[in-house]
Amino acid sequence: MNDTHPITLVTGANKGIGREIAGGLAALGHTVVLGSRSAELGEKAAAELRATGADAEALVLDVTDPASVAAAAAGIQARHGRLDTLVNNAGVAVPPGSDLSSQRPGTVDLAVVRRIFDTNVFGVVTVTDALLPLLRRSPAPRIVNVSSAAGSLSLMADQEAWAHEQPPICVGYIPSKSALTALTLQYARQLRPDGILVNAVCPGFVATDLNGHTGHRTPVQGAAAAVRMATVPAEGPTGTFSDDQGPVPW
């Protein structure tokens, strides 16, 4: 059991933004647990971090599978006895086998939308609730939810941006991020008396598998806001939504 370094779980951590969040926190002295649906890919990412001197380990975790989540929580309990930081990073924009037209108003495939919400919203609830008992054992527990400014109601209401589809028109992914940001506030309100800080962050438009590598930011840049909020002091903020430049409109 590690009694000195913060223990941090990052979901969806075998690649992209999650991988860089794990790497950034490991560089700051965290013991990072890389949650991944694939044992092979998770261990590959963890081994790459260990090769840099990081304290990193892989953990099989499918956020949409309650049994997998329960097993992951039990594994962290057995190995570490507590959790200091949870970064809910796992997410999906366009599930395999579908395209953006399945999320357009008028041509919505509800099965696709449900799959997105299952990962981006219900998966966060499942993972967070399962790990709360371990977070309560931390002297300075934190939860960071990787959301998106694309889900900002204020930005979506900007009609001058509509001609450019900024944010894009998307019934599944965009509302799932709006819901995740709202969810962040509910947990922040509930957990504030317990000293558990809960914040949402936006990584920006990062080139990852999620968007076919069309983003203009790197995964390292996208990880910056999550790394910052995962390391705020015990008296730090809760119930906020920010990127690496500052607050994001609700």
13-69: per-residue pLDDT in tens? 999 999 999 999 999 999 999 999 999 999 999 999 999 999 999 999 999 999 999
- Catalytic residue chosen out of the listed positions 117, 173, 187, 241: 173
Provide the edge-to-edge strand list for the sheet that holds 85-88: 55-60, 31-36, 7-10, 85-88, 142-146, 197-201, 241-243, 246-247
187 annotated active-site: no
Task: Tell me the longest C-alpha to C-alpha distance in the chain.
Answer: 55
| Phi, psi of 188, deg, nearest 5 | -60, -45
**174: which 2 tokens?**
């965009």
> Alpha carbon 234 to chain centroid distance?
20
Whether the Cβ atoms of residue 65 and residue 41 lie closer than 8 Å to each other: no
pLDDT of residue 111: 96
CATH number attached to the domain at 7-244: 3.40.50.720
* pTM of the predicted structure, to 2 decimals: 0.95
Q: Which of 4, 27, 190 is nearest to 81 (CA)?
A: 4
The residue extents of the domains of the chain are: 7-244
Instruction: Calculate the CA dihedral of residues 120, 38, 100, 183 and round it to 10 degrees.
Output: 0
- Is pLDDT larger for residue 207 or for residue 198? 198
